[in-house]
Amino acid sequence: MKQTEIATFAGGCFWCMVKPFDQLPGIHAVVSGYSGGHVIDPSYEDVKSGDSGHYEVVQITFDPALFPYKQLLDLYWPQIDPTDDGGQFQDRGESYRTAIFYHNEQQRQLAEESKREVEQSGRFKKPIVTKILPSAPFYPAEDYHQDFYKKNPKEYKEDRAQSGRDEFIEENWK
């Protein structure tokens, strides 16, 4: 029987965080949702208002033998602006901040190590503000948010193009 683990990443709008991880060998599921707040079972409106304290996150179920956690981290960092503590790209507010939620001590250590690597890379002039936090209850987002890039490809492409995310990635991570 295959062993799976969970990884949880906040990288701004969860619509843009699913596709990079989806459909890779060893990735079993990528679910958009909310974590890190104080409201039980929040709605999208609760989270977007900023009153619930939640981050928009993706929770990834993966087989570490096929896709190690370190490889997930290596894929996570180039999806974000780790120097922006006010949100990501066009999406502003607390729910769009970046964070890595670790689920065990090994994940914490690997996340801290990967953050140090980004800090020491000299890639950014501003400080790295992405938080490394203990896992918190995860609440799946509403169905219409799941696999948004597949269900609404035109809207996804337009939103992503307007966000400035791709230009940032190209400029800072390539």
User: Can you tell me the mean pLDDT for 12-28?
Assistant: 95
Strands 5-11 and 98-102, bridge-based pairing: antiparallel
Give the model's pLDDT for residue 174: 77
Show the domains of the chain with their CATH numbers.
Answer: 5-173 (3.30.1060.10)
Distance, CA of 155 to CA of 125 (rounded, Å): 33
Instruction: Read off the pTM.
Output: 0.96
Q: Give the pLDDT band (50/70/90) at residue 1.
A: low
Q: Known catalytic residues?
A: 13
